[in-house]
Amino acid sequence: MVRQNGNNLFYKGRANRELCCGVRKVEPLGRALSGLDAWLTGLRRDQGMERGSIAIVEWDSAHANYKINPLANWTFEQVQEFVRDNEIPYNELHDKGYPSLGCAPCTRAIKPGEDIRAGRWWWEGDPDAKECGIHIIAPLEA
């Protein structure tokens, strides 16, 4: 991929960015989850986009297992409070304007008032396309 498209291919169009996320995130995660009954995430509804409707337990059709989102109902502020009250170690970049962290070349600090995921793939401009592809939403059927 890099030989054909260069080190910084993700800045050269969304297709290249999705190719990179596919090679470096989606495919390796798929291998890691293969054969497992369930996996846990830190997704929250307050992160917006499709995450606004996630269930605590979902069927993950992409990985053929259950995806459990125990923080689905939590807000960013509740997570911060819990981390503080329980002295849980955390990434100090969260205190420097990075509420959402991804790969270094694809993450910047946000400005006051910006959406918490505005610093991810900021050059793409589409606020509804802040996903790398590992979180495909499929609600659990009753």
Q: What mask, x for binding ligand SF4 by CB under 6 A, covers residues 77 to 116?
A: -------------------------xx-xx----------
Cα separations in angstroms, 57 against 40, 46, 128: 9, 17, 23
Smallest gap from residue 8 Cβ to ligand SF4 (A): 9
Residue 80 or 100 having the CB closest to ligand SF4: 100
Half-sphere exposure of 136 (CA within 13 A, CB side): 12
Site size with ligand SF4, rule: CB under 6 A? 11
Q: Which burial class, exposed, middle or buried, applies to 124 when counting CB atoms under 10 A from its CB (0-12, 13-18, 19+)?
A: middle
Contact region with ligand SF4 (CB under 6 A), list: 16-24, 32-40, 44-52, 73-81: 16-24
Residue 24 or 94 having the CB closest to ligand SF4: 24
Identify the DSSP state of 135.
-
Smallest gap from residue 21 Cβ to ligand SF4 (A): 4
Q: What is the enclosing helix (H) or strand (E) of 4?
A: helix 2-5
**Tokens (6 digits) for 39:** 């996996």
**DSSP bridge pairs for 107:** 120
45 interacts with ligand SF4 by CB under 6 A: no
- Binding stretches for ligand SF4 (CB under 6 A): 10, 17, 20-21, 24-25, 102-103, 105-106, 132
